[in-house]
Amino acid sequence: MSLTTILVCLTTSDHADTLMKAAVPLARKHNAHLIGIHTVEALIVYPSIAIHVPETSFTLFHESQKAESDAVAAIFDKHVKAETFPYEFRLLRAESSSAADRLVESARAADLVFMAHEDKGIDRYDQRHIQSKVIRQSGRPVIVVPLDYDGPVVGSNIVLGWSDTRETARAAHDLLTVADEAANVTVLRVDKSGQDPMRDYDGIDIADTLARHGMKTTLEHREPAGEAVASVLNQVAFEKGADLIVTGAFGHSKAYDFVIGATTYAMLKDADLPVMFSK
């Protein structure tokens, strides 16, 4: 299955260049339709609060939004102007909805979504935790790219973080949309069980399934040895020279994630490579 539509969420001009460097080569490889999208923040006035907002405040707000939008559009144009694949830039106004809501709506029609890591120092208030919301609610695979990342094109050498869950099964099959023909795929299980790899039926099955698609697959087990699962995924990806980590996302309830912690949040925060999340 090939990619036909890629959505790049260009939330800020600070990280737009990094995202385009990651998305454009993949669009070129698949001759996919590349959509760059930027949301314009809504100026919300709460009617229950009696306060006068000078007209100059509205003017300055809209001018700053236009300047940011123009900067993002210029970065998008710089990366696509010499390309032959189809592309378009969309400017959406958040209006009464948040930026996350508008991006979720747009993401549902894409084969794949690119987003940047969260940056609390730069992201707008209505963009806080936007990655997790798009992953949870769009129903589409989302590749989250580290800030200032400048690595190889994704798809030739992949680490799949595997567990026997619905989310991870979804991730394994979403992997097919981005993987090269004859890509190297490491199916990695991280657990403390010390399970015999020859009895790991579900891991063997998914490795065999990917191999039938022409990929070069290996199945590996690693014990965490006191390390978080996210740390082990990053370490193995480094050892393998991987260009992409693929994993299921948010397999537990929000309450569990809040109390115990979750691999998804750790990977969203600290991953050294682009990570594709599937929910």
Q: Domain span at residue 207?
A: 157-278
Is 150 part of any domain? no
- Whole-number pLDDT of residue 120: 73
Given this model, what pLDDT does residue 258 score?
Answer: 39
105 and 204 belong to one structural domain: no
For residues 58 and 175, membership in a common domain is answered with no
**Residues 12, 137 within the same domain:** yes
Say whether both 117 and 9 belong to one domain.
yes
Half-sphere exposure (Cβ direction) of 242: Cα atoms closer than 13 Å: 27
Considering the domain architecture, whether residues 24 and 135 belong to the same structural domain is answered as yes
Residues 86, 39 within the same domain: yes
- 48 lies in a domain? yes
Distance CA 2, CA 49 (A): 52
Q: Are residues 14 and 64 in the same domain?
A: yes
Among 145, 168, 184, give the residue marking a domain's end: 145
Tell me if 79 is assigned to some domain. yes
Give how far Cα 88 sits from Cα of 76, 78, 239, 248, Å: 9, 13, 37, 30
Instruction: Give strand pairing partners of 36.
Output: 8, 89
- Does some domain include residue 33? yes
Please tell me the total count of domains within the chain: 2
Q: Is residue 204 part of a domain?
A: yes
Question: Do 139 and 9 share a domain, yes or no?
Answer: yes
| Residue that finishes a domain, picked among 91, 120, 145 | 145
Which of 121, 145, 169 is the endpoint of a domain?
145
Q: What is the pLDDT of residue 99?
A: 73
User: Are 140 and 34 in a shared domain?
Assistant: yes
- In the beta sheet, which residues pair with residue 186? 159, 218
Q: How far apart are CA 174 and CA 36, in angstroms?
A: 21
Which CATH number goes with the domain that contains 28?
A: 3.40.50.620
Sites in the chain below the pLDDT cut of 70: 1, 41-63, 94-97, 123-128, 193-199, 252-261
- Same domain, yes or no, for 15 and 113? yes
> Could you tell me what percent of the chain has a pLDDT over 90?
57
- Give the DSSP letter string of the chain: ----EEEEE---HHHHHHHHHHHHHHHHHHTPEEEEEEEEPP----TTS-----HHHHHHHHHHHHHHHHHHHHHHHHHHTT--S-EEEEEEE-TTS-HHHHHHHHHTT-SEEEEEPP-TTTS-GGGTTHHHHHHHHS-S-EEEEPTT---PPTTSEEEEE--SSHHHHHHHHHGGGTPPTT-EEEEEEE-SS---GGG-HHHHHHHHHHHHTT-EEEEEEE--TTS-HHHHHHHHHHHHT-SEEEEE---S-HHHHHHH--HHHHHHHH-SS-EEEE-
Q: Encode pLDDT of 9-24 as tens digits.
A: 998 899 999 999 999 9
13, 127: one domain? yes
Backbone phi, then psi, for 123, in 5-degree steps?
Answer: -60, 140
pTM of the predicted protein model: 0.87
Question: In this structure, are 197 and 132 located in the same domain?
Answer: no
